[in-house]
Structure 1
């Protein structure tokens, strides 16, 4: 563990003296803490060794950032770690994502342990992946586990580089890695409480108001105490109160389905939220307008031609994915295809389809691989619907 200024300076010096890519991983305390901060950051570089940095003890990572910013950073499932790394000032200029590379190669299992075993024949135990990494001191077995997550990562990267080259996928992989590195965070939801599990089944504005107030109260308390919200009261408890609508504090306390470790110790807090929901004049809408197309199951009735476009285009994209030996969702984001099928450009030639896909965020290699076949599928769909509408002779 790198915890003191002297240890940190020595680790930075050694990493700077190393060579080649830098393997990077981070451990959070998801499910235990409200924040998504890193509680451990692991790094390995050939010629340097392996280092486990303790972020709560290190106020400034800028010298480490300067030492390795120009190196390629190797991460497994980079999208999961980039945000917490950037929170402490660590931001790569070039990445190699071993999980994403495995997906693009069509490997059947893409977890780190499976990829390590496939490429190196080494078995990694993953027994501490869901641990509370805010624990201090960290047990030695956890530190060993964390170190192994980066010790072999550069070797894995080298094996994947060769496989990508053999498959002719080096350039498209580079595009995908850069897309992950530069992807903007999703904008905050205007109504994050609507993510409550099971809330879609609640149709009454008053019940929804109670759910909203309970969610907001739980979120504020979770943020204040840095505890994962579900550890205070789970979503199922909020939903139970939402359906029951207890009219007194005692009725809330007597509701057996209202549980969780803070359900009774913070009962006054939750009852206050219920009262606000019951009295609120700002009632939520039961349905929220969305810019996304409706669920595909409704297309046949609402827009038969869009339904035909989607069915034929999905078949074409699936065929391309199979020929390229990669999952369909890595070839083209399903939402991109749905949006273009629901609202196609005025011209449905390959160039127009490609421009529409690119505007949605498809990478150049994805456009090159799919636009022509999607355009052909759209033409076929239009003709099929036209033929179906012809009166019988």
Structure 2
């Protein structure tokens, strides 16, 4: 196995970028973060490979300015696996692809049962990759040589995988589908922040009362602030279950909080003043949160039969025909059309239901052109069928 060195200064980064610029064809790119260890989603290692060159491992925090790398590969197609996960970290490091090929998304569109990188490499090239370090803390320094070998392998085979999948897309007539999907991933705007992110606390459903919810909200915010300051994953400071345990225990003093057995975590006692101040702030907050989150105004489908029977009938009629179309195309239903899009157009359909109006509604909700072409007609027909009377539905076609 080759020995790999981490590029950790501007001069070495410029030299590597020059060698990559002299290579040919697409550029394989991968990112290693420290998810679950750090608060941020910054890249702690960026691997880059191009034919005619070699695999280079860049240390973004140490290098700082990666403009030489951007200049070297910024006009080429970048090949990534699960690009939506890596693009935010790459952009934070100042790296922006002009176009991409996403091997995971391609595998999904082709109907591959397993779409992890190791599985796709094995399916297309017959090569087995060890995934021993996928959940490692990549902020570790120095990085062990075994980790570096693993990281390099993530890009060394990616161009060959890309070529194999591109040929398969062409065979199945899905090249245009894939190109639209790749561009949608590349240009997708970041998700707006959640209105009430604290409601994602695991176990919050066991908390009763608006005042107790205000305490939970304050504890969550205090943990977020401290996690951001320390660049540590919040759950490593105090787990969700411990925050909820503190709320339910309803301690009468800081000392009482310290005695809560289930209030654990490495910062549970060292930052006791912080947590107690949050509890007091929550207890004195005049702006009490509602018992339930505001949501997006659309109830869960199980409630539709009572809340909006017509929408329930539309969804139940359309879902199986979309699933059947996905099966015909040999791809997962969620890649043909996400369940959320189908639910939204079923809940609020256009005034006049036909393929054109349903297609326009889907586009406004974010569906790509190829998805509209493949689904609008069958969805419109299903919506029309859903409003037939029992007698009409049983009449034989003339």
TM-score (norm 1): 0.97
Unaligned runs of 5+ in 1: 389-393
Q: Following TM superposition, by how much is the alpha carbon of 1:385 offset from its aligned partner in structure 2, in angstroms?
A: 7.3
Q: Following TM superposition, by how much is the alpha carbon of 1:202 offset from its aligned partner in structure 2, in angstroms?
A: 3.1
Specify which of 316, 319, 325 is matched with residue 321 of structure 2: 316
Q: Following TM superposition, by how much is the alpha carbon of 1:188 offset from its aligned partner in structure 2, in angstroms?
A: 1.2
2:40 matched residue in structure 1: 35
Take 1:59 and 1:138, find their aligned partners in 2: how far apart are those partners? 18
CA offsets 1:302-348 (integer angstroms, 9 cap, x no match): 11111110011000100000000000000001111001101111011
CA offsets 1:143-176 (integer angstroms, 9 cap, x no match): 0000000000000000000000000000000000
CA offsets 1:12-62 (integer angstroms, 9 cap, x no match): 110100000000000000111111100000000000110000111112111
Report if aligned partners of 1:312, 1:378 keep a CA contact under 8 Å in 2. yes
CA offsets 1:90-110 (integer angstroms, 9 cap, x no match): 000100000000000000100
Report if aligned partners of 2:13, 2:68 keep a CA contact under 8 Å in 1. no
Take 1:231 and 1:140, find their aligned partners in 2: how far apart are those partners? 26
Take 2:199 and 2:191, find their aligned partners in 1: how far apart are those partners? 16
Specify which of 299, 319, 341 is matched with residue 294 of structure 1: 299
Take 1:385 and 1:130, find their aligned partners in 2: how far apart are those partners? 55
Specify which of 276, 280, 288 is matched with residue 275 of structure 1: 280
Q: Which moved more, 1:209-218 or 1:376-385?
A: 376-385
Unaligned runs of 5+ in 2: 1-5, 394-398
Take 1:11 and 1:334, find their aligned partners in 2: how far apart are those partners? 44
Specify which of 113, 117, 121 is matched with residue 112 of structure 1: 117
Q: Which moved more, 1:291-300 or 1:350-359?
A: 291-300
| 1:332 matched to 2:348 | no
CA offsets 1:260-318 (integer angstroms, 9 cap, x no match): 11111111111111111112211111123233421000111111111110011000100
| 1:342 matched to 2:347 | yes
SS of structure 1 residue aligned to 2:57: strand
Take 1:13 and 1:81, find their aligned partners in 2: how far apart are those partners? 23
| 1:6 matched to 2:6 | no
Distance change >3 Å, CA 173–CA 130, structure 1 → 2: same
Figure out how many residues of one structure are paired with residues of the other and give that number.
388
Specify which of 131, 136, 147 is matched with residue 142 of structure 1: 147
Q: What is the alpha-carbon root mean square deviation over aligned residues?
A: 1.3
Distance change >3 Å, CA 87–CA 104, structure 1 → 2: same
Q: Following TM superposition, by how much is the alpha carbon of 1:193 offset from its aligned partner in structure 2, in angstroms?
A: 1.1
Q: Following TM superposition, by how much is the alpha carbon of 1:223 offset from its aligned partner in structure 2, in angstroms?
A: 0.6
CA offsets 1:362-384 (integer angstroms, 9 cap, x no match): 00000000000000000010114
Report if aligned partners of 1:20, 1:45 keep a CA contact under 8 Å in 2. yes
Q: Following TM superposition, by how much is the alpha carbon of 1:244 offset from its aligned partner in structure 2, in angstroms?
A: 2.2
2:216 matched residue in structure 1: 211
Report if aligned partners of 1:34, 1:222 keep a CA contact under 8 Å in 2. yes
The 5 A counterparts of 1:68-87 are 68-87=73-92
2:190 matched residue in structure 1: 185
Report if aligned partners of 2:199, 2:293 keep a CA contact under 8 Å in 1. no
Take 2:387 and 2:30, find their aligned partners in 1: how far apart are those partners? 49
SS of structure 1 residue aligned to 2:350: coil
